[in-house]
Amino acid sequence: MSVLGVHGIGNRKYFTRAGDDLALANRAIGADWLRWIGQGGAKYAPTRPPVEALPVVYYADCLDQDIPMGTADVESLGPLGRELFVTWAEEFGRAGLGERWADQISQNGTHKWLVRKPAEALVKHFGEQVRDLLARASDSLACYFDPLDTGRREKVRQRVADALREHRPRVVLAHSLGSVVTYETLCADPDLGEGIDLLVTLGSPLGVPRVVFDRLDPAPGVKGMPGVKGIRPPRVKRWVNIADVGDPVALPPGRLGERFEGLDEDITVSLNVLNPHGVKNYLMCRELADVLGRHLG
């Protein structure tokens, strides 16, 4: 059975290590994904036929980011990145600490998108890891959503569309920002969903209000209308979402169905306290092995 992966935020390292050779970067990330999903399958679904090939759509080279690679300096974010970071901090804190947190974050001073105080608050209550992850995620999303340079968004989506046409996968695994790109690509061209039996989103920010959900294209509905939901991508037969309960990118865990109709399963897991968003942990988890076992067995 054909399986296609779509990577998430970051991953520039594959392109750099490959000497800016896109084909080599594609092979390297595909080899990692194949190894990780194989390890999970061997451990949790030993009777399942192994995934023999797992091409991964590589697009990190399309996103020119503001934060230098390997850092998470929130004050280096551009205007949209700062906006997304503060908004994300509000939503993450609200999920954990309630409205009082969100009110404090939104009252940062005279400029709405000052980032220092939200960054300090995240570190105080949740640790540096959460701040750094949200900074990198905001940076990637700002590049992707940038209204002043829509060419990057179009190029990334075209890569996914080309891979869908080439591989005709029956299963698509989309992590993090990759779930956003995949969702938009499938909704923009319903023919691309033909033959996809299963879409699995991993650590997906699709449902984060004001950060991702309200920026989707095609839009789920008229902005400002309460209760408007997104849909399962056309012609995709089944959609399963898996999110770690501690993953600050996938907000709020276990509640993506509140934002999207047609989500068949919304599975929460607890994978790794120190790295709740890492794709390796998602690909190796029991829950994904179980889901794939029902479709690959």
Average pLDDT, the chain: 88
Q: Does the predicted model carry a pTM greater than 0.75?
A: yes
Q: Which two tokens stand for residue 93?
A: 């804190």
Work out the pLDDT band at 214, boundaries 50, 70, 90.
Answer: very high
Span 171-201, pLDDT tens digits: 999 999 999 999 999 999 999 999 999 999 9
Average pLDDT value for residue range 116-138: 86
Residue 79 has pLDDT above 70, yes or no: yes
Q: What is the pLDDT of residue 110?
A: 35
Residue 109 pLDDT exceeds 50 = no
pLDDT band, very low/low/confident/very high, at 50 (cuts 50, 70, 90): confident
Q: What's residue 177's pLDDT?
A: 97
pLDDT bucket at 112, cuts 50 / 70 / 90: very low
Average pLDDT over residues 232-251: 95
Overall average pLDDT of the 143-147 stretch: 95
Average pLDDT over residues 54-70: 80
Distances, alpha carbon 27 to alpha carbons 63, 124, 199, 294, in Å: 19, 40, 22, 27
Confidence of residue 111 (pLDDT cuts 50, 70, 90): very low
Residue 2 has pLDDT above 60, yes or no: yes
Question: pLDDT per residue over 285-296, tens digit each?
Answer: 999 999 999 887
